[in-house]
Chains A and B, each alone.
Chain A
Amino acid sequence: AQSVAQPEDQVNVAEGNPLTVKCTYSVSGNPYLFWYVQYPNRGLQFLLKYITGDNLVKGSYGFEAEFNKSQTSFHLKKPSALVSDSALYFCAVTLQGYKLSFGAGTTVTVRA
């Protein structure tokens, strides 16, 4: 079985401050991990993925995520948040091939 937990329903930060969105996963093998973002009235947009190799993955819009196998985490980070980063963020994992398991989502609000 595979599952994902996003422990925070909401994250609020001031523009220019660092942004972290937490994600932990549970799988019985080597996972593929993804981050997606959903803006209002839009579909999910792919941000970044970890498959193998370097634990630090860089993605779109200045986001990055660090894969930590010992802590089974894949936290999303951005050094300096923008108001336009306000959105709903989903972490996802797949082990069995194609079926993605998602977390419940974290709403990020960046205030000016």
Chain B
Amino acid sequence: EAGVTQFPSHSVIEKGQTVTLRCDPISGHDNLYWYRRVMGKEIKFLLHFVKESKQDESGMPNNRFLAERTGGTYSTLKVQPAELEDSGVYFCASSQPSGSSNEQFFGPGTRLTVL
């Protein structure tokens, strides 16, 4: 069974540019999450999809971040325009349809560097 995949693995952009990160969850996982780890600090929750619906986006830092999950399959996270403080590792995770106790399966992350 394929795990959670993320693309790209690394992205280096300049301040003011736009970047789009992609996440493909494990097949059949209705729950999809985005997290971010900045500067070696704790991993912080960004948002949670159930299928194509945003269940919780309380962790999104500001309106420069836009997440979508069209059709309830893969998800994209767009940062526009990027700022220096957006640098970090963006993780995507997915979990099975039912139960909050189900463990989340994480992708390898996208390392974003904003210069």
Contacts and interface: CB of A to CB of B under 8 A. Distances in A.
Q: Do A and B come from one complex?
A: yes
Contacts of A98: 31, 33, 48, 55-56, 95, 100
A43 B109 contact: yes
B79 interface: no
Contacts, number: 60
Interface residues of B, number: 28
Given A43-B108, A98-B55, A99-B56, A32 B45 contact: no
Contacts of B40: 104-105
Nearest to A103: B42
Interface in B87-115: 91, 93, 95, 100-101, 103-109
Interface stretch (A45-53, A61-69, A70-78): A45-53
B106 A41 contact: no
B106 A44 contact: yes
Contacts of A20: none
